Chains A and B, each alone.
Chain A
């Protein structure tokens, strides 16, 4: 049982390049989400998904795309990277994403550190 797996762990991009951060979970969780962590800002929600085919925007969605074609995977796409997207990105999942309960306690991945030059 691997939990939440993020790849790559580290990535350096040039401004304007595109890339995809991968997130996979093997816990049959319905809910998956992406956060970015910046110094002094805590974690901010980028996008989330409550099931295959259903995604929604969080607090800071601009510059990022997501899709959810399977229960297991929730990739985050940067179509044209900007230096402002330099950050550490965390994927997190929970059994459900509805009303708060013990079923929607988040499990986090180890993070992906992205630098945009």
Chain B
């Protein structure tokens, strides 16, 4: 079955420390992968996406993610976290439907807390 898993519900990181948020997917073909961020009370903003090519992708706000086919993972990283990065982060994958179209399936999210 096609699925997206974010194993960590909450993560707390000290300001200035590095960050890695995990995302695993289950899909038989080449996936199309996204990370979105949602600040409290706000909509979702695209951080970065992977469609093909270089497996290390750069996004906005200093984030990057690496696609590892062998591990079925697309982990999000940032070398130095800022207090403004506190938000909920969602991994998402395009899956094809029986209709012939593809739709975006989201993981359950990881809430990032940044401590002083």
Contact = CB atoms under 8 A, between A and B. Distances in A.
A97 B101 contact: yes
Contacts of B103: 33, 45, 48, 58, 97
A105 B49 contact: yes
Contacts of A31: 101
B74 interface: no
A40 B9 contact: yes
B77 to A, nearest CB: 21
Interface stretch (B12-20, B58-66, B79-87, B104-112): B104-112
B116 interface: no
A42 B51 CA distance: 22
A56 B102 contact: no
A48 B32 CA distance: 19
Contact of B108 (A40, A50, A102): A40
B90 interface: yes
Interface in A95-117: 97-102, 104-106, 108-111
Contact of A108 (B43, B49, B99): B43
B98 to A, nearest CB: 9
Contact of A99 (B9, B99, B102): B102
Interface string A48-60: 1010000010110
Nearest to A40: B108
B42 interface: yes
* Nearest 5 pairs of A and B residues by beta carbon: A100-B32, A42-B108, A100-B94, A42-B106, A43-B106
Interface of B: 6, 9, 32, 34, 42-46, 49, 51, 90, 94, 97, 99-109
Interface of A: 31, 33, 35, 40-45, 48, 50, 56, 58-59, 90, 92, 97-102, 104-106, 108-111
